[in-house]
Amino acid sequence: MYNINNQKLENLALEIRDDGIAILTLNRPKKRNALDAQTIEELISFFSSLPRNPDVRAVILRAEGDHFCAGLDLVEHHNEDRRPEEFMHICLRWHEAFNKMEYSGVPIIAALKGAVVGGGLELATSAHIRVADHSTYFALPEGQRGLFTGGGATIRVADLVGKARMIDMMLTGRIYKSEEGERVGLCQYVVEDSDAKAIELAQAAIKIPALSNFAICSGISHFQNMSALDAAYAEAVLAGVVNTQPAARERLEAFANKTAARVKPK
Ligand code: 1HE
């Protein structure tokens, strides 16, 4: 059991490696890692702590068991028999967790397998990179359950695949298997072992200066919420800070001295 910000992690497991890669595991495999209220609070707690934790340079979000995440805990939702405003507040907590992820400034890589459905897809799309294995599949079964998305799919899934594909997924229950998911933009990699590939990608990401990663993993998302005019202005301000950092000077010097790697395909 782990303790972050006085929040005990029961449904998540956390390992922080010496190289600064945190491995956060959804740890309710018997319930297919369905997202109950407790899990969402634990996600908020962990991802809120990230910007203040210099020991963590990248996060891998993975799952125990055969499935990444079966979405909203339907049994809890059924048992709680929530009033509209109660479920609105549940959804706001989901947004708190997922916004903390997307705007964290720390690279988050989701290692996917099996079901990535409903709220599970909303969780996965809050990460910065998605790596699927061959067992992975994506769906939005909310419609079949008489529900609607409440954890940001209308923003993040629509952003990745476009509104027409998202509507099709919701109206027809269409399931995208891994390769097809990659083709439509739901994931960027399909590999044999998504955990291993996620580590490899995280190891590449932590070679980049933390301030650059901050800009990449928060600035791009913020700018997409702005008008093009304001985004261009904010980009210039952020580039002013990032592109003059000491770590950039060293790397530019290496390039000028011809000791830095060239950008060429292998
Ligand atoms: C669950 C959940 C869940 C499994 N909530 N308990 N999401 C869905 O509509 C997907 C629902 N789940 C499934 O379709 C299947 O469980 C899976 C395809 C993911 C896995 O199938 P399988 O055969 O391996 O497992 P299972 O036998 O269906 O489930 C094993 C246990 O996990 C069982 O509990 P048990 O106590 O009877 O052993 C299931 O009840 C439990 N389980 N999925 C609660 N989702 C903010 S709005 C977001 C809205 C949504 O996310 S809607 C999409 C909901």
DSSP of 15-53: EE-TTSEEEEEE--GGGTT-B-HHHHHHHHHHHHHGGG-
User: Could you tell which of 27, 30, 32 is best to mutate to test the pocket of ligand 1, judged by most ligand atoms within 8 Å of the CB?
Assistant: 32
Q: Distance between CA 197 and CA 193 in Å, rounded?
A: 6
Centroid of ligand 1 to alpha carbon of 32 (angstroms) = 6
Whether the CA torsion 196, 200, 205, 207 is positive or negative: it is positive
Centroid of ligand 1 to alpha carbon of 34 (angstroms) = 6
Does the pLDDT value for residue 4 go beyond 80?
A: no
Centroid of ligand 1 to alpha carbon of 64 (angstroms) = 15
CA distance readout (Å), 241 to 107, 198, 204, 222, 250 = 19, 29, 22, 16, 15
* pLDDT at residue 6, as a whole number: 62
Q: Distance between CA 234 and CA 43 in Å, rounded?
A: 29
Tell me the whole-structure pTM to 2 decimals.
Answer: 0.97
* pLDDT at residue 218, as a whole number: 97
Look over the chain and give the mean of its residue pLDDT values, rounded to a whole number. Answer: 96
Three-state DSSP state, 115:
strand
- List pLDDT tens digits, range 197-248: 999 999 999 999 999 999 999 999 999 999 999 999 999 999 999 999 999 9
Residue 91 amino acid letter? C
- The residue whose CA is least distant from atom 11 of ligand 1 is 70
